[in-house]
Amino acid sequence: MKIQPIRGTHDLFGNEIKKYNQIKEEVNSIANNFNFSELQTPIFESSNLFFKPLGEQSDVVLKEMYTFVDRGGDSLTLRPEYTTPMIRAAIFNNLLNILPCKVFGVGPMFRRERPQKGRYRQFNQINFENFGTENPFADVEIILLAKNLLSNLLPKIDIKLQINTLGDRSTLKKFKKELTNFFNKNSQLLSKESKNKIFTNPLRILDSKNEDDKKLILQAPVIKEFINSKAVDHYDSVKNSLNNLNIEYIEQNSLVRGLDYYCHTVFEFKTSSLGSQDTLIGGGRYDGLIKTLGGKDLPGVGWAGGIERIAMLMDDVKLNTSSIHFAILDEKFKDHALVAYNLLSKNNFSVYWNFKYNLKKSLSTANSAQAMYLVIIGEDEFNKKKFTVKNLKSSEQTLEDIDNIISLLK
């Protein structure tokens, strides 16, 4: 019996791994352009790192974390997101001594969600964080970075930026209380799922997809009625900069994000090309989180994007047509062939042999792989210590010595 992969996980190969690597390359290049340094953290962490910061009543903590007790009796969790591990690492390694501390990382996350298109139990995230500045410039920079990455990778896809503000932490606390009162008074009009959140996570009722909930939400208090002038200024500054840069956005009052640590600016890049799992990138500010995790009282802003969701929208990566195939006509000639095989690979050519001493078969493999050249090694080549190089497009072929091969192929 074949051993199945775990539900919600997948193997990456062929075109999918090519897309994954292309995304990583683009991330590295954009990170470099905006001066973010790479920070990799372990895949598992102490469970305490996640419980409180993500929200004890958040879906991720309540239902989705892979938490287990290891043989030493410690409670460990496979990271469900990257922001908290990055902050833990920044505090532990004294990276917050020079501010702003701008870091990024790419890697697997784990959430035990119900698998569907675009939603997996192990998935890969791109994550960018800027620790240590309150300046709205940082919100704009991080949005710009996301926007550039998506337009480079998905130039043909329609993607919309949605933004909102949640105000500062104390306003948000008051707002949550108001929401609880309002939804409690009208609880008979709410879906069962939303009813369960009235006292624990009222903010999340605002992004309910249930039609009855949506009607009631239209009458619910909105954060803008509560936020103070400093928060308004921050939000206005972000919006003005986006306007100046001609970056289109939609203000979305119901945008609250799923994790508890957010305040001020929150944003999501969404597409209509993916079905219900339509958020490619999501993020925002989390002033106060670094302190909660034992660091200095520093603000922060960042985002994460789902690699699988981006990859699903990318065109197939083109085949490598520059490869050079080998036709070795007999085992006797293999060591002579290896000289060219080694030299070409050292010079960054992609070399391939099908492990069959058969000219016809090697030629046919080379043609179906759309190789550019075939290097043929038979009796004559072996005796003369040379190599036949056949251009597969023009069918021209010449006998070359080893020193000529590289310059000819280049």
Instruction: Determine the size of the site formed for ligand HAM (CB under 6 A).
Output: 28
Placement of tokens 């390359």 in the chain: 25
CA distance 290 to 296: 7
Strand order in the sheet with 300-306: 37-38, 101-110, 122-131, 300-306, 279-285, 263-271, 159-165, 250-251
CA distance 91 to 77: 19
Placement of tokens 């079905």 in the chain: 275
What are the C-alpha distances in Å from 179 to residues 28, 220, 223?
A: 42, 7, 10
Q: At its nearest, how many Å lie between ligand HAM and the CB of residue 300?
A: 8
CA distance 165 to 257: 11
CA distance 175 to 37: 36
The binder of ligand HAM chosen from 20, 50, 104, 123 (CB under 6 A): 123
The backbone torsions φ and ψ at residue 316, rounded to the nearest 5 degrees and listed phi first, read: -60, 145
Does residue 85 touch ligand HAM according to CB under 6 A? Answer: no
The binder of ligand HAM chosen from 45, 129, 213, 287 (CB under 6 A): 129
CB of 341 closer than 8 Å to CB of 351: yes
Does residue 53 touch ligand HAM according to CB under 6 A? Answer: no
Does residue 120 touch ligand HAM according to CB under 6 A? Answer: yes
Does residue 111 touch ligand HAM according to CB under 6 A? Answer: yes
Q: At its nearest, how many Å lie between ligand HAM and the CB of residue 317?
A: 20
The SS3 assignment for 19 reads helix
Q: At its nearest, how many Å lie between ligand HAM and the CB of residue 112?
A: 9
Does residue 83 touch ligand HAM according to CB under 6 A? Answer: yes
CA distance 163 to 402: 61
Sites for ligand HAM among residues 232-271 (CB under 6 A):
258-259
Placement of tokens 């292309």 in the chain: 22
Q: At its nearest, how many Å lie between ligand HAM and the CB of residue 108?
A: 10
Residues 6+ apart with CB under 8 A from 267: 143, 161, 162, 163, 164, 249, 255, 282, 283, 284, 303
Q: At its nearest, how many Å lie between ligand HAM and the CB of residue 313?
A: 11
**Residue 115: is the preceding peptide bond cis (ω within 30°)?**
no
Does residue 282 touch ligand HAM according to CB under 6 A? Answer: yes
The residue (of 258 and 378) whose beta carbon lies closer to ligand HAM is: 258
Does residue 309 touch ligand HAM according to CB under 6 A? Answer: yes
The binder of ligand HAM chosen from 136, 167, 288, 306 (CB under 6 A): 306
Task: From 13-21, 170-178, 283-291, 330-338, give the range in contact with ligand HAM by CB under 6 A.
Answer: 283-291
Farthest CA pair distance, the chain: 94
Task: From 110-118, 237-245, 316-324, 345-353, give the range in contact with ligand HAM by CB under 6 A.
Answer: 110-118
Does residue 132 touch ligand HAM according to CB under 6 A? Answer: no
Please give the residue whose beta carbon sits closest to ligand HAM in the complex.
Answer: 306
Does residue 178 touch ligand HAM according to CB under 6 A? Answer: no
Does residue 105 touch ligand HAM according to CB under 6 A? Answer: no
Q: At its nearest, how many Å lie between ligand HAM and the CB of residue 127?
A: 6
The binder of ligand HAM chosen from 52, 112, 119, 334 (CB under 6 A): 119
Task: From 25-33, 178-186, 296-304, 392-400, give the range in contact with ligand HAM by CB under 6 A.
Answer: 296-304
Q: Which helix (H) or strand (E) holds 184?
A: helix 169-185
Q: At its nearest, how many Å lie between ligand HAM and the CB of residue 177?
A: 24
The residue (of 283 and 299) whose beta carbon lies closer to ligand HAM is: 283
Q: How far apart are the first and last CA of the chain?
A: 49
The binder of ligand HAM chosen from 287, 308, 381, 400 (CB under 6 A): 308
Question: In sequence order, what DSSP letters do the residues of 324-359 get, joined into one string?
Answer: EEEEE-SGGGHHHHHHHHHHHHHTT--EEE-S---H
Q: At its nearest, how many Å lie between ligand HAM and the CB of residue 326?
A: 41
CA distance 298 to 134: 8
CB of 324 closer than 8 Å to CB of 375: yes
The binder of ligand HAM chosen from 81, 139, 213, 381 (CB under 6 A): 81
Q: At its nearest, how many Å lie between ligand HAM and the CB of residue 24?
A: 15
CA distance 254 to 194: 14
Binding residues (CB under 6 A) for ligand HAM: these are 81-83, 111, 113, 118-120, 123, 125, 127, 129, 258-259, 279-284, 286, 302-306, 308-309
